[in-house]
Structure formats: C-alpha cells, structure tokens
Amino acid sequence: MSGFLAQYGTEIRTLTLEHLWLTGAAMLFASLIGIPTGIWLTRHERWSSPVIGFVNVIQTIPSLAMFGFLLPLPWLGERAARIAIMALTGYALLPIVRNTYAGIRGIDPTIRDVARALGMTQMQLLTKVDLPLAAGVILAGLRTATVTCVGIATIAAAVGAGGLGEFIFRGVASVDNRLVLAGAVPAALLALAADGLLGLLERWAQIPGAGKS
C-alpha cells in the first residue's frame, strides 16, 4: 500500500482537487439557479408543477446519456469540464428547487400575514421571514444535491473532464481493484465530509434564533 501511495499519491491529490472543482462549480451554478427558481415558484404557484416536473425529468436521465447529449453542443463541447459542470448542475437542481419551494410554502401563513400587517415589503418578507424560517429545509436540499454531485462527478472522466473517476475507469479497464479504490474511496470521503458539514449547518439553521445578532 505504501508503494502504491508513493506512486499515485500526487495524482490522487490532483484528481481530488479536480473533483472538488467540478462539484463546487456545479453546486454554485445550481444554487444560483435553483434557490431563486424555488422562491419564484412560491409567488407563481401555477408554474410549480411544470417546473418541478421538468427538473425531475432531468434527474431521471442516466448520467452517461446526459454527458453524451451535451457533447455535440458547440460551446460546451469545446471543453470537457464545461460538459461535466453543466450536467452536474442539472442533476443538482431538483432537490434545491423542490426544497426551497417546499420550505417557504411550509411556513405558517399566519406568520406571513403578521409580517405583512407590520408593513413589511415583499423583499423584507423574503429576507426576514421566508428564507430564515426555510433555511433548514433549503440546506437539506443543498446537502442532498452536493452528495449527488460528488457521486455523479466520477462519471465526468468518461468525457475527459478529469476527477476521481479517472482512477475508477482505469481500474475497471485494467481489472486493478487498487485503482478503483483509489478513485472510489476519496470520492466517498468527499461525499461523507460534505454531508457531515452541511448536516451541521442544517441543524444550526433549525435552532431558533440561530444567525441573529
């Protein structure tokens, strides 16, 4: 094992950083799209079923097929990382959109009515009532999306986008379980670390008064 780590240790670190980059970029884009979309749906109820249905369909597309669909696109096809980030963003949208929508919709209407009676504007209602009270549910969606992205990002190696999937594909091709584990174990540890960290944030957000000065 020490000889294996001496031989592949540097590459494991490099591919782990690539994996983090792909996942982090995808989660950033998914959050920037998904959270505002979920908020918008709470204000435009008639669009909730079609939009959530659409992102649900994206979630059901097999990952290899998704990468294959994106390959022919002119701008995306120029760089494999763009394909991977776009695909991962699509897979991360469902839990973010759904939890943002459900979290805000689950707030007691009486609380929102009181806030309006106090003269709060729509923006104040969003920032001082909706988002703070729905934060735990929104973070649960981000937690699910992040773990999903870490796992699916291993498939990015199939289109040359790098990441820990490089080891997995090489190990399968050469029937070398050590290479498979060199990709699978760090990916699993990343998923566990992300799940644990976001789980702590989720519990913190559910504590009454958390984050208030």
Residue in the block written with tokens 């950033």: 28
Write the single-letter amino acid at 32: L
Q: pLDDT at position 209, please?
A: 54
Q: What is the 3-state secondary structure (H, E, C) of 117-170?
A: HCCCCHHHHHHHHHHHHHHHHHHHHHHHHHHHHHHHHHHHHHHCCCCCHHHHHH
- Count the domains in the chain: 1
Q: Is 45 a member of any domain?
A: yes
**Residue 210 is assigned to a structural domain of this protein:** no
Q: Which amino acid is at 98?
A: R
CATH number at residue 62: 1.10.3720.10
- Given a contact cutoff of 8 angstroms between Cβ atoms, the answer to whether 135 and 102 are in contact is no
Distances (CA, A) of 106 to 30, 92, 112, 144: 22, 22, 11, 19
Please check whether residue 213 lies inside any domain of the structure.
Answer: no
Inter-CA distances, 160 with 77, 153, 186, Å: 11, 11, 19
Residue 5 lies in a domain: no
Cβ partners under 8 Å of residue 63, min gap 6: 87, 91, 152, 155
Asked if residue 47 is part of any domain, the answer here is yes
How many whole angstroms separate alpha carbon 177 and alpha carbon 31? Answer: 36
* pLDDT reported for residue 213: 40
Say what the pLDDT of residue 89 is. 95
Tens of pLDDT along the chain (213 residues) come to 667 677 778 888 999 999 999 999 999 999 999 999 999 999 999 999 999 999 999 999 988 888 888 877 776 655 788 889 999 999 999 999 999 999 999 999 899 889 889 888 889 999 999 999 999 999 999 999 999 999 999 998 888 888 999 999 999 999 888 899 999 999 999 999 999 999 888 888 776 555 554
1 assigned to some structural domain: no
State the residue range of the domain holding 65: 11-205
Phi-psi region of 62 (alpha: psi -120 to 50; beta: other; left: phi over 0): beta
Instruction: Specify if 211 maps to a domain.
Output: no
Residue 119 lies in a domain: yes
